[in-house]
Structure 1
């Protein structure tokens, strides 16, 4: 094909953009940042870089829009024509473009939320807490709805799985650009000249361009802790009480803030960062202590500053707002403990008793952070008691606005975060426990000689006890047992704890949480639970907690075990069975969903998934893992975080509505035969692929699975062993990540086409799509997964392996699945029923193609070198890693 003339290029890009149906403000943002990036490439890139980027951009747009073999071959040739150094630069340029487009999309989401919230006639979105509460109240009555709302619990748990491909320095640059883009909006709205802001944007984009896109080395677990803390500092600390305030306004209208709130804090934040040691040798007991210390430092600093700020504003004179007797007694106690400070504060606030107290409480929080035993609080409940004394005094003095205004938000923050911020959870593999116990039972340690592993495992329990003593009982205590396959696996945790503390030692308070991951373990779960609750320690803990029990379900390993379709159905059945057992036993069950960010790991929209769960499996409580790029996508911006929490909490509240429970249970019964047919057919098709001789090494050959391990994504190793001869040792994250990089996304859809073909009744399947929420969610998620695949590029990756049989099986199943999804969802292509998502994918696809072609070039060179026993070319390795980072940014979906 000939190189396009300027007129042809303008026409091509115009036709491509016209097909995206992009909102005008968003289109203007993309053009603005894209043009500024072009300016940076001309100024800061090497000679001719901008022109080469444009050549590849136009070639991939033409290949995407024309869909001809000739156009695709031309785009491939352009990618192959660059020198290796130029290829590095081009890959970085496309990656920078994706960061900017992702920013624009996030900005557009914020814009939509603001526009909706700013409308005076707005009644809230259909999937908001306001709408959910109204529907629930209509079904069960106002009192019952309020009781359910006050028992609500949403518990996100941040994990350090290595799926955030971009560096923190890149994320920081993007956040600064986000602020400039908002200022740009404000200037345009006010009619001001935005030229100054555009100059600052160019500077920031130039910084983004000049910042190395790849980490020089893997982050340590402590680095990962600090990265997650940025989310707390920038959004969660203030967003969560704002969510409560908004909901209280829904319930109380104009009286909100002037009466005791009806809302009880329903968010709890958990963290595996620095606590999850399953397969990560770098997470030690020392790291866990540091992780808790860093989190406590952040929350205590936040509470101190907030308390001090509120104290300074409470300039209420004792004559207009007389203190209660309890407040005066509190002042005497505080003065006796810290007389010098009390004298100074009293001098500055001579007749302002409420102000005095708050300023003294700020000093006590500071003392807690600095571990000043004379002044420090022992636990958060003591601080809450003092704050409530102030609040009650204000109410009694006729100042309810001050009592239930900012002071109430501080109380909500303490109730939500305590002195620990996030409940640090420990996770370890059941096999490690069994191995250490075998050593201990054999008499090891009696002479002080323990293996390094045993010593480390025991030290974890001593660390948990320390953290509970130091930061309060909720700081740590959940202990998750990976690959729980028997009641003994759970009982072993208590045995190890007794070994750790010895005679007379302080036992940590433990909530031992089973994690059921494989297909067989999910099926065995109810029997294992029925056995373990008879165990003395478990029985005692159930009694102490009001018969509360937590059970974790692993989405990713079950999917890698039997395929995504059978895993989805098995997870539903497991939840239904566990929930039925818990209800019969009078147990308050919380199911903990190990959902990854990617669709192949159980990701996807959480609110639709919640509303598709079996009756009584939610019951107002929802806990899930949040990881990698998903953490920053959902919680990185305050307004998006507020909207996300609102959506998920609404679904959790609504899931127990009688109409939802009847719908889900009725559909499960009606389509039970369909589920059975799909389960058997999809599982067999999946086994045909993954159990074929030589599949594991073929998988490593046709995807960048091995090379992903070279990326400094996270502290955790990519696989449990050193070999790829078996999938058993391969972690689910690189399994999903590698298929996504190859533009195949197999982990998210493989087997569905065969499953639907086995049912063969299109009318019945359409009926299932309309009436069966679990099925609809599955089909829609597969549609999203397939939209990010590209059969042409996928075929090139599959050609890297000398297995036409396996390649054919994958491509045939992709075609069949795509055909069925389109037939069931309507339209003539996937995501036709999800126009906003479809637009987001189409906006990126040709640019992702450009990076995929560069990645393929590097991967072929590396495979050719390996075939001839030559050493890997480091320049080709770097190109591959740059392209991996870029594709991850483009797809917004890693592992």
Structure 2
């Protein structure tokens, strides 16, 4: 890496930069001293920041390689077989009847990572791909030099924001890894089932790939019908590549492959015809003008498998027949999970936009002109009448004479109409879920139902897309059971849902609930709210499928692994499986290589099977009262900070929030309209830049604030029934025996280990004097939370639950500290400089953000 640094800088600048990097490498410096040196370095080179960029490339390259290598080594050493055996064994042991009932349970279980492209992937995807594709070579001097050279030339700030189509193409390799990993999981599960008395096998796939790119319209004005269709085509191309690879080429067949065995059976000519038909189907679906299939093409992937199964294989020996049948069995599962669509693309839109779209649709149809201002009861009455067909109103999107154009409505209604075309072309699995963000009322759901009915995708005989409420804020999570109960008791929807399979999906979010109410209150609201919605589903004899909208950091619901996240769940909420978002930077971090993908997916599947088999979490009843008190105390403590009038000023001046949108990290705008007279409006800020900026500035505040105060207040609150010692002992017992509470504490401890109050204080000094009280609150809460957590853990080590990650953090610490020190110096210089110098510092500031994110995630 030093060679690249030397090549890129003039001799004098190289000497100055090398002196700095050598000091970082030789010993862990005192941060205050490092901060001063970096500030001087920035001041020296701010007029011509070439040396600053070189130093940041040096830091970021090492952090990118270290972090990727760390994940790869973990994946290589992962006990994949053990996870899957343990999960399947637990499921079998807890089943009252084995045999077919196990297969039936597995058939009703879907496990799906869902890739999103939120603006958290700061490094260029091309730079990340260079590291990921050459991880096996970096141990050798030649391989390491090659990676360093390519990475040096590629990394840096994106000149333009990626398009949605760019994001879909960037994730294609990760989708391919997920396809391959899913097959590996299915193969292993089938091997385990085959040794049971009835020699069973999966009848439906366990694993499905999910996707939000192209469908996440909430706040992304760049998505229209064309963009959505482009993304679906990109995913379809990945599916065809998969099936073409599995069928193989006639002149390039590996012994024992499906192609080899079928050719051995005398079906070379038949395979050629099948390949040609598949190629024609691909040309039709992946072409620019894909339409519903007609003519001599495969209508779906199951028809492809049927053609293969119809070939006579009687001339193969018994062993060869068994091998071929096993491959065809897996291809059947592939046809169901991958199909010709590649991944299920979810549609997500904000309830406010759905309301506006329905209002305009009603106005154009001669309905009420003031729909948006109607009361909730009036809205429900009108929408129900339209759904049941009891209204004389005929819906039309054609403008009434004299009305002006409404581009926003035209885009929305064009998108909604495109759903039907995509269903007819690629199959209903291509667009499976219609998610409504900020679901607060029953009318929010009825509006989606009406729009789907208008698109000819829903009637009383069934709904061809799942109507999914996204419930996220603490208030809405408390209201979630009532909303769900109203949905399940709505006459039109209940009949349509029954006809569609009697399964209701809900999505629970961790981001906005954390931002508005703090981490402890948020975590408990999601956990308790999900359990109560499960009770509502049981009462209505409906299967509930829970979709977890997690981010990549502890502050947004992430654990150290799938095992930690899932095994701390209520098993009753996993009876139909597990869906979870993987956002931005998390996608290549977990699925960037085939090894990582297989390891993480095995962890996800094994942990889900094990936890779901245990049923309802008994700790819910036992500890609800305690958690309610803790959550209330935490919410009050967090509100004290969040309502501080100086918080927006402190946040804006002491973190790099101003530069998130300038990083060109994603197609979606990094914020909603967040400026209020020049000052940041926190209520309009997206959760990702909120969390990411606090992590960038060293404090990681959203991961723990309010937790220590809540624990202390719970222990010390006056009561006549228990002593402070007894309440402390209770929390220690909860940590030992209740997975949910243990994960909450361990997750908080990990975030605090990554935080550094010395670094955070360096950022805090960038804020004006009148805002310094905000930092004092954060620092005091950090120290208190650390004290309380160590007391509960009965340890003097925050990371005693994960010593491996503690060691990794220690290895990266000098580089991470240097990146922070550089960023502080850059932000200070930017504050003090005139417009010309500020423009020159933009690139280095964003690159400093890349380096810190490479070490410790962003959002």
- 2:519 and 2:702 in contact (8 A); partners too: yes
CA RMSD of the aligned region, Å?
A: 3.1
The answer on whether the counterparts of 2:265 and 2:313 sit within 8 Å (CA) in structure 1 is no
Give the equivalent residue in structure 1 for 2:183.
241
Aligned length: 792
CA contact (8 A) 1:221 1:283 kept: yes
- When residues 561 and 791 of structure 1 are mapped into structure 2, their CA distance, relative to the original with a 3 A threshold, is same
**Preserved contact between residue 38 and residue 822 of structure 2 (Cα < 8 Å):** no
Structure 1 contact 553–592 (Cα < 8 Å) conserved? yes
Listed as ranges, the matches of 1:174-213 within 5 Å are 174-181=131-138, 198-213=141-156
The alignment status of 1:577 with 2:520, answered yes or no, reads no
1:890 equivalent in structure 2: 855
Distance of 2:552 and 2:692 partners within structure 1: 11
Retained in 2: the 8 A contact 1:459–1:500? no
Cα distance, 1:370–1:38 mapped onto 2, change above 3 Å: same
The question of whether the paired residues in 2 share the 8 Å contact of 1:63 and 1:75 is answered with no
The aligned residue for residue 171 of structure 2 is 228
Aligned position for 1:711: 663
Is the alpha carbon distance of 1:480 and 1:211 closer, same or farther for their aligned partners in structure 2, counting shifts above 3 Å? same
Aligned to 1:23: none
Aligned-pair CA distance for 1:554: 1.2
CA distance in 2, matches of 1:880, 1:472: 46
Q: 1:112 aligns with which of 51, 74, 77?
A: 77
214-223 vs 96-105, which deviates more? Answer: 96-105
User: Could you tell me how far apart the structure 2 residues matched to 1:50 and 1:286 are?
Assistant: 49
Shift of 1:388: 3.4
Gaps of 5+ in 2: 285-292, 366-398, 716-726
Q: TM-score, normalised by structure 2?
A: 0.86
The superposition leaves residues 337-382 of structure 1 with CA deviations (integer Å, 9 ceiling, x where unpaired) of: xxxxxxxxxxxx7x95444333322222111112284321122332
Show CA shifts across 1:379-408 (max 9, x none): 233223333334887899885234324333
After TM superposition, the structure 1 = structure 2 runs for residues 260-409 of structure 1, keeping only pairs within 5 Å, are 261-262=201-202, 264-309=204-249, 352-371=265-284, 373-390=294-311, 399-409=320-330
Query: Shift of the alpha carbon at 1:430?
Result: 0.7
CA contact (8 A) 1:681 1:755 kept: yes
**Residues 423-822 of structure 1 aligned to structure 2 (within 5 Å):** 423-443=344-364, 445-447=399-401, 449-499=404-454, 509-604=464-559, 605-658=561-614, 661=616, 664-665=617-618, 667-723=619-675, 725-760=680-715, 761-802=727-768, 803-822=771-790
Structure 2 counterpart SS, 1:710: helix
2:91 counterpart (120, 125, 136): 136
**Residues 312 and 355 in structure 1, CA contact (< 8 A), matched pair in contact too:** no
Distance 1:741 1:700 in 2: 13
What is the CA–CA distance in structure 2 between the aligned matches of 1:635 and 1:522, rounded to whole Å?
31
Greater mean alpha carbon deviation, residues 587-596 or residues 800-809 = 800-809
Distance in 2, Cα, partners of 1:759 & 1:486: 34
Which residue of 127, 138, 143 corresponds with 1:170?
127
Q: Higher mean Cα deviation, 706-715 or 202-211?
A: 202-211
SS of 1:873's partner is helix
**1:1-53 Cα distance to aligned partner (Å, 9 max, x none):** xxxxxxxxxxxxxxxxxxxxxxxxxxxxxxxxxxxx23333344432566545
Counterparts of 1:615 and 1:315, CA distance in 2: 43
Q: Could you state the TM-score of these two structures normalised by the residue count of structure 1? A: 0.83
Which deviations, in whole Å up to 9, do the C-alpha atoms of 1:726-756 show, x marking residues without a partner? Answer: 2221000100110011011111111111111
Q: Secondary structure at the match of 2:310?
A: helix
For structure 1, the residue ranges without an aligned partner over 5 or more in a row are 1-36, 118-123, 185-196, 324-348
Determine if the alignment matches structure 1 residue 842 to structure 2 residue 810.
yes
Structure 1 residue runs of 4 or more that deviate by more than 6 Å after TM superposition: 391-398, 501-504
Work out the CA distance in 1 between the residues paired with 2:576 and 2:315: 33
2: CA distance, partners of 1:615 / 1:47: 62
Which deviates more from structure 2 when the two are superposed, residues 743-752 or residues 377-386?
377-386
Query: Which residue in the other structure is 2:380 paired with?
Result: none
SS in 2 for 1:243: helix
- Does the 8 A contact of 2:94 with 2:613 survive in 1? yes
SS of 1:714 mapped into structure 2: coil
Is residue 3 of structure 2 the alignment partner of residue 39 of structure 1?
Answer: yes
Higher relative contact order (CA 8 A, sep 6+): 2
Q: Check conservation: 1:464, 1:476, Cα contact below 8 A.
A: yes
Tell me the secondary structure at the aligned position of residue 424 of structure 1. Answer: strand
Indicate how the Cα distance of structure 1 residues 471 and 464 shifts in structure 2: closer, same or farther if over 3 A, else same: same
Go from structure 1 to structure 2 and tell me whether the alpha carbon gap of 1:450 and 1:489 turns closer, same or farther (over 3 Å shift): farther
1:668–1:772 Cα contact (<8 Å) kept: no
Call closer, same or farther: CA 1:78–1:873 in 2, change over 3 Å: closer
Distance, in Å, in 2 between the alignment partners of 1:225 and 1:543 is 34
Matched, 1:56 2:32: no
Residues of 1 paired with 2:671 and 2:853: CA distance? 19
Q: Distance in 2 between matches of 1:72 and 1:858?
A: 11
Q: What is the CA-CA distance between 1:519 and the residue it aligns to?
A: 1.2
Residues 1:473 and 1:261: Cα distance change in structure 2 (over 3 Å): same
Q: What is aligned with 2:369?
A: none
> What is the SS of the residue equivalent to 1:715?
coil
Q: How far, CA to CA, are the matches of 1:176 and 1:477 in structure 2? A: 32
1:106 deviates by 2.9
Which of 403, 415, 419 is the equivalent residue of 2:340? 419
Aligned CA distance change for structure 1 residues 96 and 161 (closer, same or farther; 3 Å): same
CA deviation string 1:303-358 (max 9, x = no partner): 13422448975999xxx99x9xxxxxxxxxxxxxxxxxxxxxxxxx7x95444333
- 1:501 to 1:642, Cα distance in 2 relative to 1, 3 A: closer
Asked if the contact 2:830–2:838 (Cα under 8 Å) also holds between the matched residues in 1, the reply is: yes
For residue 132 of structure 1, give the secondary structure of its aligned residue in structure 2: helix
Q: For 1:854, which of 822, 835, 842 is the aligned residue?
A: 822
Q: Is the 8 A contact 2:520 2:634 kept in 1?
A: yes
CA shift for structure 1 position 455: 1.0
Checking the alignment, whether the CA contact within 8 Å between 1:555 and 1:595 is kept in structure 2 is yes
What CA distance in whole angstroms lies between the structure 2 residues aligned with 1:503 and 1:313? 46
Who is 1:102 aligned against?
Answer: 67
Shift of 1:611: 2.0
